[in-house]
Amino acid sequence: MYQQTATAEPDPGTGFGFNQTQPPPETSDWAPGLDLQDQQALYEAREDHDAIVEEIPSEKDSLGRFSVLCLIFNRMIGSGIFNASSQIFYNTQSVGVTLLLWLCGVAVALSGVILYIELGLTVPRWQRPDGTKISTPRSGGELPYLNYFLKLPRFLATCLFGVSFLVFGNTATNSIAFAAAVLQASGTTQTAGRMVAIALTVNTFSCLLHSMSRKWGIRLNNLLGSLKVTMLVIMVIFGLRWLNLDVARDNFDSSTSMKRADNTQWGVYKYAEAMIYAIFPFGGFHQANYVLAEIKAPHKNFARTSGYGVLFICCLFMTITILYAATIPKADLFTADLDIAFNFFKRTVGSGVAESTVKAACGSLRALSAIGNVIVFTFTAARVKQEVAKEGVLPGSIYLASSYEFTFRHGFRRIPDHQAGGFLYTEKSPAAALALHWTVTSILILAAMLSTDSVVFSHLPGYSLLLMAYAYGLDVIWFSCIGVGMLYLRLWPGSNWRYKSPIPHVVGVIAAVIFTATNIVPLVTIWIYDPAQRYIAHSSDRVDWFAPQMTAMAVLVAAALYWVGFRIWLWQKRVRQGVVWEVVRTPIFWAGTQGQAQAQGQQQGGAQGQPQLVQIYEIIRFKWRVWTGDEEEGQGSEKPEGPQQGGFWEDGPVDNNYGNGNGGYATGNNYGGGSGNPLHQVQHHHQNQGYQGHGHGHGQGY
C-alpha cells in the first residue's frame, strides 16, 4: 500500500528548538547556512538509490520578473490570436457578440489569475510551533491545489489531473502550427510529410534545449517573449495607421452590430464552440504557477508580475480583435475558413505589396508565435509532469521525478558530482519528464497528420480535434474544478479561508463566481446537439461535433480506471507480500540568522517580524517497507496535547476539525482520517532550527 510517513527525530549533536546560535562550519557540499543534521540527511539521501535530492534554483538562477513576464507572453501569444477570432466571427455572425465572447475570455483570464495567485501564495501551508501558519510556494500548477481540495478518496485528484496532463499537456498543436507557418512563409506547399518533419524537429529541439541547458532555455524564452509582444504592438500600430473608417462605421453600427447576419441559423453549440475558442487564447494566464518554486522571491514578484502581464495581454488581444472588425468588411469577416491575420495585413500594410510577400510575412509572424509557445510550454509542462511523478503514482516515478545535470563528457546523470568543501549549484533539468513529454507530443503529431491532404493547417481534422480536446480537457474542465473549489473554500465558514488568503474576501468571491460561471457555461452547453452543425470547425466535415469533449471525457475515465487499478495493486501488495509503498517528501527550508530571516521574509513579502521560509531542497524517497499489521482502515488519531517543539505540519483546508473522523485532521500524524490507514498520506514536518537561531526547518511527508 501507499503511505507518506513522518519519522523525524532530533539530532542530539545539533540541538533542537530555538537556542542554537553557533553556525556550523561552512565547508559543505550543500548551500551555506544548513545545520549538521540536514547536511547529514542530504548526504545520506544522495547516496540512497531510492531517494532524490531536489535542489531549488539559487536566487541568482531563479526566474526574475522579466522571465516570468515572458513565460506568460510566450504561452498566451500563440496560434489562438491568429486563428480563434475568425472562427468566433463565423460562429456568431455578429461583431458585437464576438466582442462579448472575447470579453468572456478576458474575464476568465483576469478572474483566473486572481484565483491562481491566491492559491499559489497560500497552498501548501505549514503550521509553526507557535501555532501560526505560513506558506511556501510549490510548482505544479493545479496539482497541489486539487490535492488540497480533494483529499479523499486518496490519490484520486492526483491520478485524474496527472493522467489528463500527461495526455493533453503537450505541444503538438503549436508544433504543427509552426510547421505550417514555416511552409507558408517559404511559399512551399503544405504536405503531411513536410509538416511532420518540421513539427518533430521543433519538438525535439525544444526538449533537448531544456534538457541540456536550463539557462539558455530561459534566455530563448525571454527573447521570443519580447519579440512576440513587439509583434502585437506593431499589429496595433498598423491597424490604427491604416484604419478603414467606412468599414468601422458599418461593422460597429449600434443598430446592427449585435444582430446576426441575414440567412444564418442560431444554435447553442455554435456559441459554446465559439466561447471555447475565446477561452483558448487566454488559457496560459496561469503559466507561472507551473514553475512557482523557481521564481525569485515569489511572495514579492509572482502576484504583481502575473497580474500585470495577463492584464497587458488581455488589452492587446481585445485591441487587435477590435481592429480586425474595424478593418475587414462583414462580407469577408463572417465567411468560413477565413485567414483573418492574412486579410488584416493585406488590408493594412500590404495594400500595395504583392500577395506572396504578405503571406511570407504573415507566416513568419505565425511561426514566431508558435515556436515561442512550444519553447515555454515544454519548459513548464515538464515541471508539472515531474511534480506528478513525485507523488509516486507513475511507473518509474523515481526517474521521472529526478532532475539531471548534463555534461558533454558524461551525458545525463541523476546523481551529480559535488565539489568538496564548497557549494556548487549546477543546472539541473527534468530530463526524464522531458523525454516523456517528447514521446507523447511526437505520437500526437503523427496521429494528427495521418491521411492529411494539402490544405491549410488550421483546417486539418486532426489538428482541430487536438486543439478543441486540449481547450476542453485541460482548460475548461480543470478551470471549472478550480472555480468550484475556491467557491467552496470562500463560502464555507469552516475553511477559514479568508484568514489564510492574501486576497480580500469580496474580491476572491467575485473572482471565483466569474471564473466558475464563464467556464461551466461552455463545459455544459458544448454537449447540446445542433442539427445544423454536425462537425467541429476546421475539420473538413470529418470530425463529429461530440468528438473533442468525448475525447476529454475518455481520458478522464481512463485516469479514473488507472486510479482504481493503482489502489487494487497496492492492496494486493499489502495482502500478498505484507509491504506498503512509502513515499517520504522532506522539504528543507532556510530562515538564516534572525537578521537574515527578517530581511528575506520582507523580500518574500512577509510581514515585519514574520519571515517567510524559503525551501531550498526537497528529499523524496520511494521504497517498499514491511507492513506492521496495526494500520487498519479508518483508525483515527487524536490531536496531540500541544504542538511538538520544532514541529512543522502541513495545513489542510479545515482548521477546526480535529479528531478521529474521516474528515478530521490529526496534527502531527495524518489528515483526513486516521494514522492507521496505510493508504493515508501522512504529513508531518519537523523543524530543527527556529527563527532565532542560525538555521532552517525541515520535515518529512507531503
C-alpha separations of 536 from 289, 301, 335 in Å? 31, 41, 16
Label residue 641 exposed, middle or buried (CB < 10 Å: 0-12, 13-18, 19+): exposed
For residues 296 and 308, what is the distance between their CA atoms, to the nearest angstrom?
A: 17
- Side-chain-side CA neighbours of residue 511 (13 Å): 23
Residue 689: what pLDDT?
Answer: 31
Q: Which residue has the higher pLDDT, 451 or 460?
A: 460
DSSP assignments along 274-292, one per residue:
HHHHHHGGGGGGGGGGGGG
CB 100 within 8 A of CB 485: no
Quick check: 603 pLDDT over 70? no
Residue 672: what pLDDT?
Answer: 29
Quick check: 624 pLDDT over 70? yes
Q: How many CB atoms lie within 10 A of CB 351?
A: 10
In 450-546, which residue ranges form alpha helices assigned H by DSSP? 461-470, 477-491, 497-500, 505-525
Residue 476: what pLDDT?
Answer: 96
CB 340 within 8 A of CB 85: yes
Residue 79 phi/psi, 5° resolution?
A: -80, -15
Q: How many CB atoms lie within 10 A of CB 126?
A: 22
Amino acid at 309: G
* Size of the chain, expressed as the number of residues it contains: 702
Q: Mean pLDDT score of the chain, rounded to an integer? A: 78
For residue 17, the cross-strand partners are: 689
Question: Going from the N-terminus, what domains does the chain have, and what CATH number goes with each?
Answer: 2-58+578-701 (no CATH), 62-125+132-260+269-559 (1.20.1740.10)
Residue 403: what pLDDT?
Answer: 84
Residue 421: what pLDDT?
Answer: 36
DSSP assignments along 345-394, one per residue:
HHHTTTTTS-HHHHHHHHHHHHHHHHHHHHHHHHHHHHHHHHHHHHTT-S
Rounded percentage of the chain residues whose pLDDT exceeds 90? 41
How do 51-55 and 2-3 pair as beta strands?
unpaired
Q: Average the pLDDT over each of 142-156, 321-335, 406-420 and give the range with the smallest value.
A: 406-420
Q: Kindly state the greatest CA–CA separation across the chain.
A: 84
CB 54 within 8 A of CB 618: yes
* pLDDT bucket at 412, cuts 50 / 70 / 90: low
Q: Average the pLDDT over each of 42-51, 211-220, 518-527 and give the range with the smallest value.
A: 42-51
C-alpha separations of 623 from 404, 576, 671 in Å? 21, 17, 22
CB 666 within 8 A of CB 656: no
Q: Which residue has the higher pLDDT, 581 or 17?
A: 581
Give tens-digit pLDDT for 465-501.
999 999 999 999 999 999 999 999 999 888 888 888 8
Quick check: 692 pLDDT over 50? no
Quick check: 694 pLDDT over 50? no
CB 78 within 8 A of CB 174: yes
How do 2-3 and 579-590 pair as beta strands?
parallel
* pLDDT bucket at 9, cuts 50 / 70 / 90: very low
The candidate with the shortest Cα–Cα distance to 89, out of 98, 80, 81, is: 98
Quick check: 247 pLDDT over 50? yes
Residue 696: what pLDDT?
Answer: 39
The candidate with the shortest Cα–Cα distance to 232, out of 340, 316, 314, is: 316
3-state class percentages of the chain: helix first, strand second, coil last, to nearest 5: 55, 10, 35
Q: State the helix-helix crossing angle for 80-92 and 268-279, rounded to 10 degrees.
A: 160
Residue 456: what pLDDT?
Answer: 46
Q: State the helix-helix crossing angle for 142-149 and 355-390, rounded to 10 degrees.
A: 50
Residue with cell string 530561459 = 218
SS3 319: helix
Give tens-digit pLDDT for 443-458.
999 988 875 554 444 4
| Range with top average pLDDT, 33-37, 306-310, 534-538, 582-586 | 306-310
Q: Average the pLDDT over each of 167-171, 256-260, 269-273, 510-514 and give the range with the smallest value.
A: 256-260
Label residue 545 exposed, middle or buried (CB < 10 Å: 0-12, 13-18, 19+): buried
324 contacts: CB under 8 Å, gap ≥ 6: 85, 89, 333, 340, 344
Q: Which residue has the higher pLDDT, 572 or 266?
A: 572
Quick check: 341 pLDDT over 50? yes
For residues 259 and 317, what is the distance between their CA atoms, to the nearest angstrom?
A: 23
Quick check: 264 pLDDT over 80? no
Give tens-digit pLDDT for 273-322.
999 999 999 999 999 999 998 898 888 889 999 999 999 999 999 999 99
Residue 451: what pLDDT?
Answer: 53
| Range with top average pLDDT, 184-198, 636-650, 661-675 | 184-198
Give tens-digit pLDDT for 349-369.
877 788 888 889 899 999 999
For residues 278 and 104, what is the distance between their CA atoms, to the nearest angstrom?
A: 7
